[in-house]
């Protein structure tokens, strides 16, 4: 299991966090997604076949690119 905290400057509210959680949770291998609009960050835990690159690509596709 791998973990990362990603800075996502576009997060402005709880709705943004929910959108990210919904999208990333659909990815095979993603186990947990938690977000904090105050720090504009998300914590993600995953295992194969998910990768950090795929997670970042998904964030970019949904207009929440990580910094």
pLDDT at 23 (0 to 100): 97
Q: For the segment 30-48, what is each residue's pLDDT rounded down to a tens digit?
A: 999 999 999 999 999 999 9
Q: For the segment 49-64, what is each residue's pLDDT rounded down to a tens digit?
A: 999 999 999 999 999 9
Instruction: Taking residues 7-16, report their average pLDDT.
Output: 96
Count of beta carbons in the 10 Å neighbourhood of residue 34 = 13
Fold for domain 2-61? Alpha-Beta Plaits (3.30.70)
Each domain of the chain, given as residue ranges in start order, spans 2-61
pLDDT at 19 (0 to 100): 97
Euclidean distance between the first and final Cα of the chain, in Å? Answer: 23
Instruction: Taking residues 8-27, report their average pLDDT.
Output: 96
pLDDT at 35 (0 to 100): 96
């Amino acid at each position: 299991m791998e973990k990362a905290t990603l800075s996502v400057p576009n997060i402005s509210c709880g709705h943004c966090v929910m959108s990210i959680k919904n999208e990333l949770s659909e990815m095979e291998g993603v186990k947990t997604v938690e977000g904090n609009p105050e720090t504009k960050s998300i914590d993600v835990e995953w295992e194969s076949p998910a990768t950090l690159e795929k997670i970042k690509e998904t964030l970019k596709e949904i207009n929440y690119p990580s910094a």
